[in-house]
Chain A
């Protein structure tokens, strides 16, 4: 194969890592977001403080800095924890993918917390009261009344977060994950055609974000099917 094609193919293979990262971070972010929103709306004040601190930090600190903290600082935390449970001298290195999942998961979780909090608060109070009157427990209310509507209300904002996530994955290439961006740089360096390769990377990201937007639009349509005639 021509070298240009071989390196081009490498970028496409890098898309595998990019997609794997996106798909792993989504559940982490959603879970952290739901927990964060629950904490923010909790009647227990210290929980609210923790959640407020979390979102303030995440929204005020650059993603790149969080990635550096997790990637360079994470292994020391893990080793320190291992020492605590009686395993000294174990050398741990956080690999770029794991660092990416943790860092981007924290970032997405911080933003998702605000999205979910707003969505939960927009569920009409009367519905909650109706459910209480029907004898639902708190968990049942959350599971059967609040959550299905939260999904519908939060979906457009979650779509925006997905866009941000897809583009943020490129940052993990800085700490060495062989994703689209990293492989494009390798190809660019090897062939001395940086513009061509970076343009290919850009086109690939554009394809991924476009597919994601279309997917979210379809999900929104489905989530709103009960409201279509309203």
Chain B
């Protein structure tokens, strides 16, 4: 390792890290928002409602992200009407925005599939209970099914976020100067294959660590109702105490 070279590259690597974070967070936020209606449509009982989301998910999960990225960045240029349009100059000509679009679509497919599994895993009795209280379909989703789904999918969701973070490195192939892109630039300047790639790898590891920690915190927060009571002694003392049973016991949630 040559630390002087790494020190020289450090500012650019950090600049690349910032781009990588943008390529992670913006598509992720958009994809998560898009996935909710898509997943709900995907579990519909009407075949013509679920057909389109199912096809979208199948295609985007079954093909390499690199193909999707190239289709948007290089492929769309084939259509002249598109090249003359407003979108071209402002968005589709720029590798950065093409990467954003490709990552959003790709993430949407994976997250929607995850949510489909999560929605199906919500116990049927809870949905029936919601309907029995007179909730409309939308209300049941809003207050019962979706919150429950989040708790179910969160561990898998955080895996997805890590995959998404690693996938952002593909943007470097279409000339975006993200973390991998910057490392590649420095590699071609000095022909030192280890220093820059290892430095970039170390930054990715830190990012993965931070991201998984944050999501674990969210998981802990969402599961607060299901945590075991702080100490066993307090729980038994409360159970034996006269008067109305404490809330946690009454709800039967302590067992979880």
Q: Interface residues of A: mostly helix, strand, loop or mixed?
A: helix
Interface presence of B214 (CB below 8 A):
no
Chain B interface category by residue count: 35 or more
Judging by beta carbons under 8 Å apart, are B208 and A59 in contact? yes
**How far apart are B253's CB and chain A's nearest CB, in angstroms?**
28
Interface presence of A84 (CB below 8 A):
no
Q: Which residues of A contact B170 (CB under 8 A)?
A: 64, 171
Q: Which residues of B contact A152 (CB under 8 A)?
A: none
Interface members, chain A 181-205 (any B CB < 8 Å) = 181, 184-185, 188, 192-196, 198-199, 201-202, 205
Q: Which residues of B contact A209 (CB under 8 A)?
A: 62-63
Contact flag A192-B64 (CB < 8 Å), given A56-B205, A62-B167: no
- Please measure, in the bound complex, the distance between the C-alpha atom of A174 and the C-alpha atom of B180, giving whole angstroms: 13
Q: Which of B76-84, B127-135, B235-243 contacts A (4 or more CB under 8 A)?
A: B76-84
Q: Which of A28-36, A37-45, A68-76, A131-139 contacts B (4 or more CB under 8 A)?
A: A68-76
Interface presence of A167 (CB below 8 A):
yes
Judging by beta carbons under 8 Å apart, are A201 and B208 in contact? no
Interface presence of B54 (CB below 8 A):
no
Interface members, chain B 187-223 (any A CB < 8 Å) = 187, 193-194, 197-198, 200-201, 204-205, 208-209
**How far apart are A166's CB and chain B's nearest CB, in angstroms?**
8
Count A-B contacts at CB 8 Å. 122
Contact flag A167-B197 (CB < 8 Å), given A62-B166, A192-B78, A198-B70: no
Judging by beta carbons under 8 Å apart, are A171 and B204 in contact? no
Chain A interface category by residue count: 35 or more
Judging by beta carbons under 8 Å apart, are A60 and B197 in contact? no
Interface presence of B140 (CB below 8 A):
no
Judging by beta carbons under 8 Å apart, are A68 and B205 in contact? no
Judging by beta carbons under 8 Å apart, are A174 and B173 in contact? yes
Interface presence of A173 (CB below 8 A):
yes
Q: Which positions in A face B, CB cutoff 8 Å? A: 56-57, 59-65, 68-69, 72-73, 76, 163, 166-171, 173-174, 181, 184-185, 188, 192-196, 198-199, 201-202, 205-206, 209-210
- 13 A–B contacts from the bound complex (CB under 8 Å): A59-B208, A60-B162, A60-B166, A60-B208, A61-B166, A62-B167, A64-B169, A68-B193, A72-B197, A170-B66, A174-B66, A181-B67, A210-B62
Contacts A64-B180, A73-B194, A198-B74 aside, 17 further interface pairs with beta carbons under 8 A come to A56-B205, A59-B162, A60-B166, A61-B166, A62-B180, A65-B200, A69-B193, A167-B64, A169-B64, A181-B70, A185-B74, A192-B78, A194-B74, A195-B77, A202-B67, A205-B67, A206-B59
Q: Which positions in B face A, CB cutoff 8 Å? A: 58-59, 61-68, 70-71, 74-79, 162, 165-170, 172-173, 180, 183-184, 187, 193-194, 197-198, 200-201, 204-205, 208-209
**10 closest A-B pairs by CB:** A73-B193, A62-B169, A170-B64, A195-B75, A72-B193, A60-B208, A195-B78, A62-B166, A167-B64, A60-B205
